[in-house]
Amino acid sequence: MTVRDSLISVAPVAAGEILVVAEEASRRLIAHHVSILGLSVLHAESMERVLHVATDRADRIDCILVDATTSGVDALTIARQLHADPETAVVPLLVVFGRPPSDADLLGMLEAGVTDHATKPLSPALFAAKVKAVSERSRMQRELKNKLRMALDNAAHDALTGLYNRRYFERRLKEEAAHARRHKKPFSIILLDLDHFKLVNDTYGHEDGDRVLKHVANLLGGALREDDIACRYGGEEIVLLLRSTSGPAARVVANRLRAALAERPLPLGDAQVPKQVTFSAGVAAADERNGFDATDIFVRADQALYRAKRSGRNRVELD
C-alpha cells in the first residue's frame, strides 16, 4: 500500500480542531500531515498561550500536539497543567519527539497524563492515523459528557416554574467559582424573595400563589443572558447567577428586573383584579476585592436581602 493509500484509509475525520504547539517549520509540517483529516489547525507559541486557548476552546479541541523540541516549551508541564483543570483535563495531548524517547521520557509521559507520542521524522500515514484515533476518541468522550450534562440538566429543573432547582444551583456555584478564579473575572448572585407571598396564598389561595411564581419565572427566563441561570432555591426564593458580572452591575440587573416585574401586574382571585408583584433582593459578588472567593457568597447575599426587607421591601441591597 502506498503512503497516499494509507492516508486515504485514515481520512476523513469530521470537522474539529487541533492545537499545535511548535516552531514555525514544525507547525507547517504537522499541519500538512493532518490536512487530509479536515481538522482546523490552531497555533500557540508559548505555554501560557496553550493553556489560554485550551481553556477557552475546551469544548471544541479534539487534540493538542506539542513538539518537545520547541524552545521554552515543556510538554510534561503542559500536560500536568491541563489535567489540573477540570475543563481541560479530558483534552488529549500528543507529544512529538526529535529522537526516540527514553524509558524515563515514557514514564514521565505516563505520570503526566500524555495520551500518545510520535518521533521525527514523522511518518505521514502513521502520524495521521494517531491523530485521527485520538481525535475521534476525544470527540466521543466529549459527546458522552454533553449527553450526561443534558440528562443532569433535565433532572435539575423545578417542576412548577421550570427554573433550575437548588441542587443544580449548588453545583453550578462551585463551577462558577472555579471559572472566576481561573479567569480572574467576577461573578455575582442575586437572591430575591417575593414580597408578601404568604399573604397572596392566604388571600387568593395556593393556585394563584403558583401562578405568581410562574409569572416571575417567565419574566426572568426571558430577561437573562445565555450564560446566566435562574434557580428556584425554595418557596418564594429565587437565586440568579450572573457570569462575568460585578456587584454594582448585578444590582443594576436586579433593579431592572424589579421594574419590569412591577410593570406587569397579574390578575388574581375570582375577580381577576390586577395585582402588582414585587420582590426584595440581595446582591453579592466574588471579585478582586475578595480574591474571587465565593465560599460565603450566598450568606452575604442573604444578609443583603434581609437589609432590603427591613428597609421596606421592593428594593435591592448590595453586599
Active site residue 263: no
Alpha carbon distance 278, 192 (integer Å):
10
Backbone angles phi, psi at 104, to 5 degrees: -65, -40
Output Rg (C-alpha) for the chain, integer angstroms.
Answer: 26
Cell of 309: 426587607
Read off the amino acid at residue 287.
Answer: D
Q: Nearest to residue 33, comparing CAs of 7, 12, 15?
A: 7
Name the one residue in this structure whose C-alpha cell is 495521521: 128
Residues contacting residue 71 through CB under 8 Å, at least 6 positions apart: 23
Tell me how long the chain is: 319
Q: What is the distance of C-alpha 22 from the center of its chain?
A: 28
Cα separation values, 120 from 27, 70, 76, 98, 217, Å: 13, 13, 18, 5, 59
Q: Nearest to residue 62, comparing CAs of 93, 33, 23?
A: 93
Catalytic-role residue among 136, 236, 263, 288? 236
Determine contact, residues 187/180, Cβ cutoff 8 Å. Answer: yes
* Active-site annotation, residues: 236
